[in-house]
Structure 1
Amino acid sequence: MTWAPLRIIHCVRSPIGGIFRHICDLAAAQSDAGHAVGIVFDSSTGGRFDLARLDSLSDKLTLGIGRFPMRRHLGIQDAKAAGALYRHVRNINPDILHGHGAKGGAYARTIGTLLRMKGRNVTRVYTPHGGSLHYDPHRLEGYVYHRLERILERMSDAIVFVSDYEAAAYQSKVGTPNIAYRVVYNGLRPEEFSPLGDVEDAADFVFVGMLRDLKGPDLFIEGLYNTKLKTGRTPTARIFGEGPDEARYRALVETYGLSDKVTFMGASPARTAMAAGRTLVVPSRAEAMPYIVLEAVAAERPLIATRVGGIPEIFGKHARRLIDPGNVAQLTAAMVAALDNPARMADEARTLRKCLSETYTVDLMHDRITSLYRTVRGEQAADPLAPGNMASIRQAEAARPAYVGSGQKE
């Protein structure tokens, strides 16, 4: 007995960062498993690096790549974009419409519902990736977005959360889902579970991520300046990434007199970027389940990170090493300590790697998400002895429980 292949469309607004890596990895794994897969996303955003990654997957995306204007915030233009996107998806006739992020999730679930009204058997799945869950529920913007999430849940068949933190945030800000839901960690490829050495001229510190305040590049730069004041030595640093606030961060570097020590490198593969600095700094103000932290731990990179989102879940019993988000004093102290004792940082990185669960793999991520599609659609389970089917899913379930809409563990 084998699974019948599915027709799967992934929808996201901005093709950049960890959310897009998640989609590309998932789409590639689903294609390798025999499914027909396509991706739709915004036509006005996306960096060269991420779009090049997508180009490398073009042969696997048999349902194609669609680009449509998708604004970040709600507006009247959404209606026109939704119409064009609806016609594109309708003609593909997917079995699964999987929306990622707040805007991608809104488009996917709305269009999926319209197709259901037309008699199509479309399963509507949503993964927040943080998104609207980062907003303060006590502020007007957060209140509006969280109420919209509750409304959109009625047009959903399942939700996939990438961390226990994200699931808890949804329950506290939106409410306990009344539909099937499951926690599925982001996954790494096998080659990413190998130690990574430094490049010959590695900087003291490296930042890798989107250049926007949510990820904390401004805090990183301020920490460098404070480290200079405390030690009398200006540390060297490299900043990898693209984003809307790059010009402001460049100006901040110049204001602090760090221009000769800090280099903006643009976007680059994570392992290449991490090797360019002796210690990776992740000063995020908010996260869901950041790939860069998983990648750093798997590669045994010395790491300074904040206690946000799913990062404590990665660190496990070593979560005490994390610093408070937005606390520049703690960040500076950690950076000074890293300069003073690199041997201890390397030892902590090796210890942390030993605690990283082997369930953080692309194969298990794919198996658990695709098996959720099947469950929601009411399809019959495959032969458990069939390669790549239920055996690996059972291993994942034994390692950590998933959650369903009733609040009970599977």
Structure 2
Amino acid sequence: MAEPKLRILQVMRAPVGGLFRHVADLTRALSEMGHDVGLVVDSLANDAQTESKLGALLPYASLGIHRFAMPRVLGRGDLVTPLGVRKLAKSLDIDVLHGHGAKGGFYARLARMGGGKAIAVYTPHGGVLHFSRASRSGRIFHRLERLLMGQTGAIIFESAYAQKTYSALIGEPTCPTRIIHNGLTPDEFVPVPPDADAADFVFVGELRDLKGIHVLAEALVGVHRPDGQPATLTLAGDGPDRAALVEQITRLNLTDRITLPGAQPARAMFSRGRCIIVPSLAESLPYIVLEAAAARLPVIATNVGGIPEIFDGSAESLIPPSDVPALQQAMQRVLDDPQAAQAEMEIRLARIESAFSLANMAGQIEALYQLLLVKT
């Protein structure tokens, strides 16, 4: 017997980064499965790029794209928006409220309070897990997590690491949980060969301390090609620490060795380097590692978050975060022995092809929705 058609509202704050990538992929997949999907997003942080991204999702969002005030930190919108989302869910006869990230999960579960037939599913995507217990915001968000557990139908973790961290920070969930890894589309497994003038290395991500950009710049100083020429780097992205990074690049005399093309789509940047570097100080399960490996690029990454789950079979090559000498040595090894780097890439590719597909991700999430609705 065919599963019933669902009416699903995906709730998130800003359409940026891996969280938005996940929501966009899930929205398309659920729509193609025959479900009706709508989006709730922030009305405070919209620009031309935001509108373009959301516009591309409109054909798959049969229940529309709805905007509410969602402040980045705690603010007045946190009191008003949940009521608006609750009203919207009732008017659209929603079956599933799926909150993504700290704020999306907060709003989806608060909207569930006060009745209504919708179940609330929550995917942290790192979010609340990045708040320290020592910070005021961390204490508030962790307490909210515990208070909202009773409104949570299930929590989906994109990695075993995220599940373990959540339990350590907030407590063992009293609702059902699932580990469902992020997935890639078939076209993302098409190889991306390097351009003739590609740099030795490429970084794609937000320019902020947490991504390890300053560690990367310092490590590059002592890395050289086998012919003695200094190694080069394409550093694509934008963010709050861009100015400090530019100052560091100048101070280290790296202006001729580092190219800064600004924020760019990841796949478009893969041809601009021969090896991708993910030097993050903290992560959950970064798409960039999956995407790069699927495109047949060697990857140097830190041993943080769920990255070892992607590197299963080649995890011995992961390096400690914030370790300049270790990163420098890993970069030098790739230049000195590209055949070994290629062989490791093949191991990682096989792992990703078998365990990280979009069809698998969306299918598991849909099955969870259906199971929870049967139980209500």
Shift of 1:86: 4.1
- Cα separation, 1, equivalents of 2:126 and 2:186: 26
Instruction: Please tell me the residue identity of whatever aligns with 2:369.
Output: Y
Match of 1:322 in 2: 318
**Residues 261-276 of structure 1 aligned to structure 2 (within 5 Å):** 261-276=257-272
Greater mean alpha carbon deviation, residues 144-153 or residues 157-166: 144-153
Deviations 1:128-172 (A, max 9, x none): 011111233355543433222111212211111101111111112
Match of 2:15 in 1: 15
TM-score, normalised to structure 1, is: 0.85
Match of 1:98 in 2: 98
Shift of 1:205: 0.9
The answer to whether the aligner puts 1:255 opposite 2:251 as a matched pair is yes
- Cα separation, 2, equivalents of 1:46 and 1:293: 27
Which of residues 279, 283, 288 is equivalent to 1:283? 279
Match of 1:363 in 2: 359
Q: Check conservation: 1:16, 1:46, Cα contact below 8 A.
A: no
Instruction: Please tell me the residue identity of whatever aligns with 2:240.
Output: P
The sequence identity of aligned pairs, in percent, is: 41
Which of residues 297, 317, 323 is equivalent to 1:301? 297
* CA distance 1:270–1:189, change in 2 (3 Å): same
Shift of 1:299: 2.0
Q: Check conservation: 1:47, 1:242, Cα contact below 8 A.
A: no
Deviations 1:95-133 (A, max 9, x none): 11100001111011101223x2xxx20110100011111
What SS does the aligned partner of 1:24 have?
A: helix
- Cα separation, 1, equivalents of 2:238 and 2:69: 20
Deviations 1:194-222 (A, max 9, x none): 33211121111110112222222222222
Size of the aligned set, in residue pairs, is 374
* CA distance 1:48–1:292, change in 2 (3 Å): farther
Shift of 1:75: 2.5
Q: Aligned-pair RMSD on alpha carbons? A: 2.2
* CA distance 1:16–1:46, change in 2 (3 Å): farther
Instruction: Please tell me the residue identity of whatever aligns with 2:212.
Output: G
Q: Check conservation: 1:306, 1:323, Cα contact below 8 A.
A: yes
The answer to whether the aligner puts 1:192 opposite 2:196 as a matched pair is no
What SS does the aligned partner of 1:5 have?
A: coil
- Cα separation, 2, equivalents of 1:263 and 1:51: 28
- Cα separation, 2, equivalents of 1:186 and 1:75: 31
* CA distance 1:78–1:144, change in 2 (3 Å): closer
- Cα separation, 1, equivalents of 2:284 and 2:91: 33
TM-score, normalised to structure 2, is: 0.92
Deviations 1:222-241 (A, max 9, x none): 2223437xx97432211222
* CA distance 1:48–1:198, change in 2 (3 Å): farther
Match of 2:168 in 1: 172
What SS does the aligned partner of 1:14 have?
A: coil
Match of 1:71 in 2: 71
Instruction: Please tell me the residue identity of whatever aligns with 1:65.
Output: I
Deviations 1:281-320 (A, max 9, x none): 0011111111111112222211100111111011112111
Which of residues 210, 220, 223 is equivalent to 1:224? 220
Q: Check conservation: 2:159, 2:285, Cα contact below 8 A.
A: yes
Unaligned runs of 5+ in 2: none
Shift of 1:87: 3.9
Greater mean alpha carbon deviation, residues 120-129 or residues 265-274: 265-274
Match of 2:123 in 1: 127
Deviations 1:160-201 (A, max 9, x none): 110111111111211221111111000100122233211121
Unaligned runs of 5+ in 1: 381-410
* CA distance 1:48–1:21, change in 2 (3 Å): farther
Greater mean alpha carbon deviation, residues 240-249 or residues 5-14: 240-249
Match of 1:36 in 2: 36
Instruction: Please tell me the residue identity of whatever aligns with 2:164.
Output: A
Which of residues 314, 335, 360 is equivalent to 1:339? 335
* CA distance 1:234–1:33, change in 2 (3 Å): same
Shift of 1:357: 5.0
What SS does the aligned partner of 1:169 have?
A: helix
Match of 2:372 in 1: 376
